[in-house]
């Protein structure tokens, strides 16, 4: 069973003020997958996390994002209570009974830090003459360099057709310096929708 990464750990470090950016490290789509449209479909938003309050917050945000795209976004916690979360067959049956057509599942799978050092610079010494040195000595500047620490959060995203019980899309992405849980979920959802559209799986 894959190791579960609590969202608290992934977001616990002090993040820099830089805006986040999401890149895909891998993507996969069903070979026979045709372009689908979320418009008018009931799509469950699921966020796997051991922290129930964060799970609910993330699912609410993802459901809202799906609704903004024309689907009827449904937070998974409203359909799947915790006691059924580990039973896949029971969970699938409940989702189908609720009338859901599809599901988008997100899970934090990693958190890393990247430290970048930019070396400083100093003016070259001019010692050959008093005049050049005097100007250099008084005006000499030195930049000690800078150290920047970035937090990289990796997310696994899966898109299922519940009508066919089939995986349509899978990806892993890496987001740099997300400001908070909401920005992380929205940024990954937006990037996923764009990438799926570019690969011909999501109808414009």
Write down the residue that tokens 């937006």 correspond to: 190
pLDDT at 171: 96
Q: Is 50 exceeded by the pLDDT of residue 9?
A: no
Reported as a pLDDT band with limits 50, 70 and 90, residue 19 is very low
pLDDT at 200: 87
Q: Is 90 exceeded by the pLDDT of residue 174?
A: yes
Contact 171, 156 (CB under 8 A): yes
What b/e string do you get for 30-69 counting C-beta neighbours within 10 Å, with b at 16 or more?
Answer: eeebeebebeebbbbbbbbbeeeebbbbbbbbbbbbbeee
pLDDT at 18: 37
Q: Is 50 exceeded by the pLDDT of residue 151?
A: yes
pLDDT at 34: 80
pLDDT digits (tens, 9 = 90+) for 64-94: 999 999 999 999 999 987 755 678 888 899 9
pLDDT digits (tens, 9 = 90+) for 29-56: 999 878 888 999 999 999 998 889 999 9
The overall average pLDDT reported for the chain is 81
**To the nearest whole percent, how much of the chain has pLDDT over 90?**
50
Q: Where are the domains of the chain?
A: 7-114+150-198
pLDDT at 130: 72
Level-2 CATH architecture, domain 7-114+150-198 = 3-Layer(aba) Sandwich (3.40)
pLDDT at 107: 94
Which comes out higher in pLDDT, residue 202 or 174? 174
């Amino acid at each position: 069973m894959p190791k579960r990464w609590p969202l608290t750990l992934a977001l616990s470090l002090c993040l820099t003020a830089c805006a986040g950016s999401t890149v895909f490290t891998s993507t996969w789509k069903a070979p026979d997958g045709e372009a689908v449209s979320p418009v008018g479909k009931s799509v469950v938003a699921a966020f796997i996390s051991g922290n129930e309050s964060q799970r609910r917050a993330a699912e609410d945000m993802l459901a809202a994002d799906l609704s903004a795209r024309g689907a009827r976004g449904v937070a998974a916690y409203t359909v799947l209570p915790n006691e059924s979360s580990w039973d896949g067959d029971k969970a699938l049956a409940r989702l189908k009974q609720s009338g859901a057509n599809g599901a988008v599942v997100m899970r934090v799978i990693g958190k890393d830090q990247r430290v970048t050092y930019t070396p400083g610079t100093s003016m070259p010494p001019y010692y050959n003459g008093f005049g050049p040195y005097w100007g250099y000595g008084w005006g000499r500047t030195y930049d000690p360099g800078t150290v920047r620490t970035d937090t990289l959060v990796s997310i696994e995203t899966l898109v299922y057709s519940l009508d066919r019980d089939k995986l349509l899309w899978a990806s892993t992405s890496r987001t740099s310096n997300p400001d908070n849980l909401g920005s992380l979920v929205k940024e990954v959802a937006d990037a996923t929708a764009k990438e799926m559209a570019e690969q011909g799986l999501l109808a414009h």
